[in-house]
Amino acid sequence: MAESEKAPTSRRGVLGALAGTVGAALAVGVLGKRPDAQAAAPIAPAARPQAAANAAPLTSDLLGRMHSELARALAKPRQERRWVMVIDLRKCVGCHACTIACVAENKLPPGVVYRPVLEEEIGTYPNVTRRFIPRPCMQCDNPPCTPVCPVHATWKNEEGIVVVNYDQCIGCRYCLTACPYGARTSDFGYTYTAGTPHALPGILGQGIADDYERVANFEYSKAWDRKGGGSPIGNARKCHFCTHRIAEGMLPACVTTCIGRATMFGDVNDPDSLVAETIARPNVMRLKEEMGTEPRVYYLL
């Protein structure tokens, strides 16, 4: 939609005319047959099983289930929700789509990453496998990163998410050293387009190519555009389970992008939720349990 608005008027005119012609041709029945258009009257479900499945509410898919659970959780008061993430390592194929979805969603600059996927090779030939461990922020119940902050810039919020106040953070990076999972990175102000050529303003070159870097992200439901060296440049940054998406009834970007439905998300205070069910299994584990951080990201082995 946005693209067609940007397109030159003349081209849009041509396309419109073309579409009109095709439509007219179909209407007079040039092909001698009733056109098989989507806009036509609904087809009987029995005749088209796939269409029926598409039209039905997405309850059979985990994503659909999580989505409706999210709506249910959002109906509750904030402090009664407890967001957790469960990652099924047997389903993860190591495609890194979650990492990239996160980078795109939060417009992360070079050197900042919220959810890398660690790869590990297990065994010796001929018995070799690989394990992929996506590593978001663990949103620990006993986070070592928050008490070290000297200026109250980071804390665990009432929904169980460890958040950073970019406007308060002074950039001392003490929290980066304190996290046992390496889950915090610092925005040092790098840009992807630094050092690329400048060319015709507004048409070619760095001036137009770095539009992406100048567009604001929407972390913590606020616009942060990284212009002029301001926050979040110079701040500690971390995964926040896409709080801004949750607030709008959307699942975190990494969850919706996961091709194998390996990442599950939901309110653990809801006993009927997918995550509450899955973390009660014996094959559940958490990273560095011995540190007493009580992570709220669970892995299924």
**Shortest reach from residue 261's CB to another protein, in Å:** 21
| 116 touches another protein by CB under 8 A | yes
Contacts of 35 (CB under 8 A, 6+ apart): 26
Q: Is 106 in the site for another protein (CB under 8 A)?
A: no
C-beta separation of 156 from 137 below 8 A: no
Q: Which residues of 139-150 are buried (b: 16+ CB within 10 A; e: fewer)?
A: bbeebbbbeebe
Instruction: Write down the least CB distance from residue 258 to another protein, Å.
Output: 16
Do residues 262 and 97 make contact, with C-beta atoms less than 8 angstroms apart?
A: no
Residues paired with 284 in a beta bridge:
300
Piece of 26-34, 107-115, 200-208, 274-282 that binds another protein (CB under 8 A): 107-115
Question: Reduced to 3 DSSP states, what percent helix, strand and coil does the chain have, rounded to the nearest 5?
Answer: 30, 15, 55
From candidates 92, 149, 163, 251, binder to another protein by CB under 8 A? 149
Query: First vs last Cα of the chain: how many Å apart?
Result: 43
Contact assessment for residue 279 and residue 268, using Cβ atoms and an 8 Å cutoff: yes
Among 63, 95, 157, 171, binds another protein (CB under 8 A): 171
Binding status of residue 285 toward another protein by CB under 8 A = no
Q: Which of 67, 82, 99, 241 binds another protein (CB under 8 A)?
A: 99
229 lies in the binding site for another protein (CB under 8 A): yes
164 and 174 Cβ atoms separated by less than 8 Å:
no
Among 55, 151, 199, 216, indicate the residue that binds another protein (CB under 8 A).
151
The interface with another protein within residues 182-201 (CB under 8 A) comprises 182, 184-190, 194
Q: Does 93 bind another protein (CB under 8 A)?
A: no
Over the window 39 to 78, marking each residue x when it contacts another protein by CB under 8 A and - when it does not, the resulting string is ----------------------------------------
Q: How far apart are CA 115 and CA 183, in angstroms?
A: 8
Contacts to another protein by CB under 8 A? 99, 110-113, 116-120, 133, 135, 144, 147-152, 168-174, 176-182, 184-190, 194, 229, 231, 233-236, 287, 291
